[in-house]
Chains A and B, each alone.
Chain A
Amino acid sequence: MASVSQTLRQPLVAGDKSPAEVTRDICAALDRRAGPGWWALFLPAFALLILGVAAVSYQIATGIGTWGLNRTVGWAFDITNFVFWIGIGHAGTLISAILFLLRQRWRTSVNRSAEAMTIFAVLCAGIFPVIHLGRPWLAYWMLPYPNARGSLWINFRSPLVWDFFAILTYFTISLVFWYVGLIPDLATIRDRTKPGFRRRVLEILSLGWDGSYRTWQRYETVYKLLAGLATPLVISVHTIVSWDFATSVIPGWHTTIFPPYFVAGAIFSGMAMVLTLMIVARKAMGLEDYITVGHIDKMAKVTLATSLMVGLAYITEFFTALYSGNQYEEFVFLNRALGPFAWSYWIMLACNVGIPQLFWFRKVRTNPALVFVISIFVNIGMWFERFVIIVTSLHRDYLPASWADYAPTSIELATLAGSFGLFFTCFLIFCRFVPVIAISEVKGVLSVGRHQAPGGHKAPALTQGAAEEASVAK
């Protein structure tokens, strides 16, 4: 059986690697000192982070009057950024959990970095609701703790409370999932590190992993369970994010299509971000044999599929609004397409539905440079999607007397830039200190020692089952 699938399928990892070569290749980036390329990326990212910290500190010290919000547009940049970042995170969970359950073994080369991306994106997302509180030092009021005000409990009927729990759970489970997957690899690095401070740290973090198969068996079980838990979790998280909007009575928000629309959009934007990061990382770190053009091709296909879902949602939403007979609903959508923010609506459509259609062509999907450019467009488009949903639904509300315009202030722009700074700073540090590819998982998909043994001797060309049978028979 295995031999049939082997001749039919392209190998997942190029270059005919042995397990020792996998260890060496992936750890190579951790062993050498950071090159000029890394610093050239890290310093601007870190500068952006500092800019963001300064902007947020100024905003907290002064108050949210430093933003361009007004009494009509009460949510704008910060919530756009929040939804954007939380959406980015979802592709990581799709790759690590959903593709794992679907037995898509190509995911092994990209899941580690995609999960790291999830964690950093959720970190970025989590900042925005907190600073949006205006008094972030009271953020702990979101927790239901016994207090001296009654106890006055939080309102469990509010989607904002649901969101708080969803993000908290999502961050925790993503972190735990990522760490559990990391333990065997940390042990691998530990065993090739010379005694010293670095080794001591790795010894602590790898929890004394010794590769015992009894532990491996439990590890596999835990991994499967966490994947099973993370799959509905990731869907619930963005569903709840969409409920922040959908449970209100604002035309343009109050719609039942929001949960699937948001989940598809989240995976779409996240896949684009994975592509953006991976195409740079594979080149910069010399991992072309592991993150092959085949991987990029597959991820581009997922991007195309989710792009079509998002496009379908746009059309459905628009049609339903026009067909609803509700003049407010109709107005909001016509205003989106033709009103003062029409430019953002058409950017969204062009980047999310138009440009990804190029992925129908294999020539495009297998051209990393082109895929990189398209993925940047998708990132831009998905940021604008959230901007369109939030700002265009608010700025012209029921009463024309209260219609208002919105423009971000420099503080808001600096905060957005700062969140990108935080994200890339974290990701670049991750690339330096943690194996960006799951070493032990990649070894599992090499099929070393099955049927053709590269180490000198030739194993009989039996399938695994037959070899076992033969041994039993003797």
Chain B
Amino acid sequence: MSRRTLVTVFEHEDDILGATRAIREAGFRIADVYAPYAVHGLDRAMGLQPSKLPWVCFVLGLVGAAFKVWFEFWTTAVDWPINVGGKPWNSLPAFVPVTFEVMVLFAGVSTVFAFLLVSRLWPGKRAALADPRVTDDRFILVIDQTDAAFDPVKVAELLERYRVVRVEEREESDEGGAA
């Protein structure tokens, strides 16, 4: 399915913040915003929901910790109990450090994998850049033109107010970055 987008380029952080907010509040659909660094406040301007990744971190951390407690209990108290210095078979307090380490390991590594998965990043993927300078110093707002509410005159006026540097119309074939 092809989609028509308007790729608009900005030079300054304030402009991309203001333009993004204005375009969204005027009822136009934002395909995506591209930036060379994490511009603070842009998520609010775009109206993005907070990421659900903390849940992955929490749940997988819990799974790791639970698995490790069970494993330490099973190996030390069930499968082959060994008397070490007369300590009880189930020496729960002594299991805490390794449980903590495994929890952190599970939570951290799984969060990163989940991040790569949902962001569709993988080794060897060809980046489809909205503008060659987007990883250097340009901010890009991509507006969906297919939307019925799209009004070129109003958009042009809004973009002008925020000192747009360049505007370009593009057709793209899939949902990925503006190719």
Contacts and interface: CB of A to CB of B under 8 A. Distances in A.
Interface of A: 18-20, 23, 144, 150-159, 161-162, 165-166, 168-169, 172-173, 176-177, 180, 183-184, 187-188, 190-192, 203-222, 225-226, 229-230, 232-233, 236, 240, 243, 440-441, 443-444, 447-451, 453, 455, 457, 459, 464, 467-468, 471-472, 474
Size range of the chain B interface in the assembly:
35 or more
Interface stretch (B1-9, B124-132, B143-151): B124-132
Sorted from nearest, which 9 A-B pairs have the closest CB atoms?
Answer: A449-B12, A208-B125, A19-B137, A153-B75, A207-B121, A162-B97, A213-B33, A221-B51, A157-B94
A214 B48 contact: yes
Contacts of A457: 163
Given A166-B97, A166-B101, A448 B135 contact: no
Contact of A219 (B38, B54, B136): B38
A217 B121 CA distance: 14
B34 A225 contact: no
Contacts of A443: 36-37, 137
Interface string B95-137: 1011011101101110110011011111111111110111111
Contacts of B40: 444
Contact of A187 (B22, B39, B54, B127): B127
Nearest to B14: A449
Interface of A is mostly: helix
B18 A471 contact: yes
Contacts of A218: 51, 53, 115, 118-119
A225 B53 CA distance: 9
Interface in B63-108: 71-72, 75-76, 79-80, 82, 84-85, 87, 91, 94-95, 97-98, 100-102, 104-105, 107-108
Given A209-B135, A219-B38, A222-B112, 11 more contacts: A144-B75, A155-B82, A156-B91, A172-B108, A210-B134, A213-B39, A215-B119, A215-B121, A440-B38, A443-B37, A459-B163
Most chain B CB within a 10 A radius of its CB, from A172, A205, A447, A449: A449
A449 B5 CA distance: 26
Contact of A152 (B42, B45, B80): B80
B159 interface: no
Given A155-B82, A203-B127, A216-B38, A472 B25 contact: yes
B74 to A, nearest CB: 9
A190 B18 CA distance: 29
Given A162-B97, A191-B136, A440-B38, A180 B112 contact: yes
Contacts of A220: 38
Given A188-B135, A211-B134, A213-B33, A169 B104 contact: yes
Contacts of A222: 53, 111-112, 115
A213 B101 contact: no
Contact of A229 (B21, B39, B107): B107
Nearest to B98: A165
A168 B115 CA distance: 22
Contact of A156 (B61, B95, B126, B133): B95
Contacts of B101: 162, 165-166, 168-169, 233, 236
A150 B84 CA distance: 17
Contacts of B54: 221, 225
A159 B75 CA distance: 17
A455 B79 CA distance: 70
